[in-house]
Amino acid sequence: MTGAPFVALLALLTSQSSSIEEVPNEEQEVASPASSGGIGFRALLEVGPLSFPSGTPGGEQDLFAYAYPSLGVDGGEDFAFMLGAPLRFRLLDNAPEQKDQDYGAWLRREDWDERSDYGQVVRLLRIGDESGRFGLRIQPFLEESLGRGYLVNRYDNQLSPNYHPAGGTVSFAVGPARVQLLASDVLAARIFSGELLLDVGRLASDSEAHFDRYLVRASAAHDFGDAGGASPEATVASVGGEVAMYKGERLRSWALLAGGARLNAGAQDVGGLLGVAFEGAFKGTQISVTLQGRRQGGGFRFGFFGAGYELARFSAVGLSEEPQADQRVPQDFSGYVEVSVARGDGPDSPEVVASGAVEYSAFGRADGDLSLSFSTPGGGTRGIARVVVMGLGDRPRYSVAVEARQRVLPAMYIWASGATVHFPQPDGALVRGVSAGAGVGVDFARR
């Protein structure tokens, strides 16, 4: 994780709280036009050395010069646009016999060798309001969920270091119905999913007392597996309902019931869940908690397209196992917990956003995902960290990333990052490595 993913993750995490800025100072598209009454512009450039693995079995670390230029425009609540390109220029190649794989032995070829990689140039395109009647958003996905996350949950499409797609969502509302469509890669045949949310209270009554109390969700998702490396196709679907047990000004609670199924030929496995969810806002802190008991197994599990899926689609657990689409696990019960906390009262106060999810299956396997971002008052110091664990208690695989920014001048900051990386191979195995970098950044903003 270097530079470019930093803004996407922070923007995603901080969006959980309306009291926290939508994106960080370092790569905020612009200062908020809503407060200034105009269009905002921002330009940024980050540079520095980067140590990055070759990505081949037995390969060594290569040295790159890293550069990330970006330019953003913000037209307010209904429009934002950011362009940028993370560029790695090879300085030292510890496998010189492979130089013909790189453009001019300089620009890292694997970052630009398929159509999907050109999607990374669009760091953000936002039109409309996703919580309103229409919204469109295109950007890297780092913690993306569809609805309650029964199928697509905390999904990260940037986890594979040689695959850099832009994901997209479209949502619109018509009367008591709301539709959300999601594509993990807007330039290739990968994961496509959609959800229909029906407010039964609005459908059956004109009384506001019944609005947003009785909801039905129907969703489906399919992975074609045709970009970022070939992998088996997978199709899943779910139907669920939820009832508001309590709806107050500061606290809401829901009872959840859902069923799901794997629809691929020869893998018609099913599952079900019961759960509760709580959402509250208290003195500058927003919190949500979800607790679920699940019965699932075989080829189906809730949150099938999860945080670690971009690696699990090659090796479900470990580094050289069967793909998740082909994996069959015991039919058993599991417990799932997800917690999100956002704390902040604006740019002059500390801001912290923490989010985590853990699922433990009775047959002895656990999967988890934890992300954390923080900012000091005024945004002088910012940091993020994320840990994704797949198959703990079986053949575990860990993905870890940390990154920090420290402003040293009004228009200059220093950055440092480190991460584990896993490179998919033609045979489906994963090659593990470590990336680390540091450097300086300058930014410029006008409104």
Q: Is the pLDDT of residue 234 over 60?
A: yes
How far apart CA 50 and CA 59 sit, in angstroms, is 16
pLDDT of residue 210: 78
Instruction: Answer yes or no: are the C-beta atoms of 40 and 447 closer than 8 Å.
Output: yes
Top-ranked range on mean pLDDT: pick from 102-111, 209-218, 343-352: 209-218
pLDDT for 103 beyond 90: no
**Residue 10: its pLDDT value, please?**
42
Least confident of 29-43, 174-188, 322-336, 360-374: 29-43
Asked if residue 359 lies in contact with residue 366, where contact means CB atoms within 8 angstroms, the answer is yes
DSSP summary character for residue 165: P
pLDDT tens-digit readout, 254-301: 999 999 999 987 667 999 999 999 999 988 899 999 999 999 999 999
Least Cα distance to 70 among 156, 140, 18 occurs for 140
What pLDDT sits at residue 19? 31
The DSSP bridge partners found for residue 59 are none
All structural domains of the chain with their residue ranges: 4-122+150-166+225-446
Per-residue model confidence (pLDDT) at position 368: 97
pLDDT for 345 equals 79
Q: Is the pLDDT of residue 372 over 90?
A: yes
Over pLDDT 70: what percentage of the chain?
89
What's the pTM value of the predicted model, to 2 decimals? 0.90
**Vertex 374 angle, CA 338 and 13, to 5°:** 45
Contact between residue 1 and residue 417 where contact means Cβ atoms under 8 Å apart: yes
Give the number of C-alpha atoms closer than 13 A to the C-alpha of residue 323, restricted to the C-beta side.
Answer: 19
The phi-psi region of residue 393 (left if phi > 0; otherwise alpha if psi is between -120 and 50; otherwise beta) is left
d(CA 276, CA 278): 7
Residue 1: per-residue pLDDT: 56
Q: Mind listing the pLDDT tens digit for each residue in 310-334?
A: 999 999 999 999 999 999 999 999 9
Asked whether the beta carbons of 35 and 421 are under 8 A apart, the reply is no
Identify which has the larger pLDDT, 13 or 247. 247
In this prediction, residues 53-69 reach a mean pLDDT of 93
Q: What is the average pLDDT across 343-353?
A: 85
Contact 210, 201 (CB under 8 A): yes
Whether residue 24 has pLDDT greater than 80: no
Q: How confident is the model at residue 309 (pLDDT cuts 50, 70, 90)?
A: very high
CB of 367 closer than 8 Å to CB of 358: yes
Do 399 and 318 touch, CB atoms closer than 8 A?
no
- Name, of 101-110, 142-151, 264-273, the range with top average pLDDT: 142-151
pLDDT tens, residue by residue, 28-49: 333 333 444 578 999 999 999 9
- Torsion angle, alpha carbons of 289, 312, 142, 408, to 10: 110
pLDDT of amino acid 96: 53
What's the confidence (pLDDT) of residue 25?
34
Query: Does pLDDT of 102 surpass 80?
Result: no
As a whole number, the mean pLDDT across the chain is: 89
Q: How would residue 86 be classed by pLDDT, with cut points 50, 70 and 90?
A: very high
Q: Confirm if 423 and 53 have CB atoms less than 8 A apart.
A: yes
Question: Do the bridges between strand 40-53 and strand 191-199 make them parallel or antiparallel, or are there none, so unpaired?
Answer: unpaired
pLDDT at residue 443 is higher than 50: yes
Give 170's contacts (C-beta < 8 A, 6+ positions apart): 135, 136, 180, 181
At 387 the three-state DSSP class reads: strand
pLDDT in tens, 192-207: 999 999 999 888 888 7
Note the pLDDT of residue 67: 97
Predicted pLDDT at 75? 86
- Provide φ and ψ at 161, rounded to 5°: -70, -15
Buried b (16+ CB within 10 A) or exposed e, 309-335: bbbbbbbbbeeebebbbebebeeeebe
What is the pLDDT, as a whole number, of residue 16? 36
Paired tokens of 82: 């950011």
- With cut-offs at 50, 70 and 90, classify the pLDDT of residue 2: low
Report residue 395's pLDDT band, with 50, 70 and 90 as the boundaries: very high
* Least reliable range by pLDDT among 87-101, 105-119, 265-279: 87-101
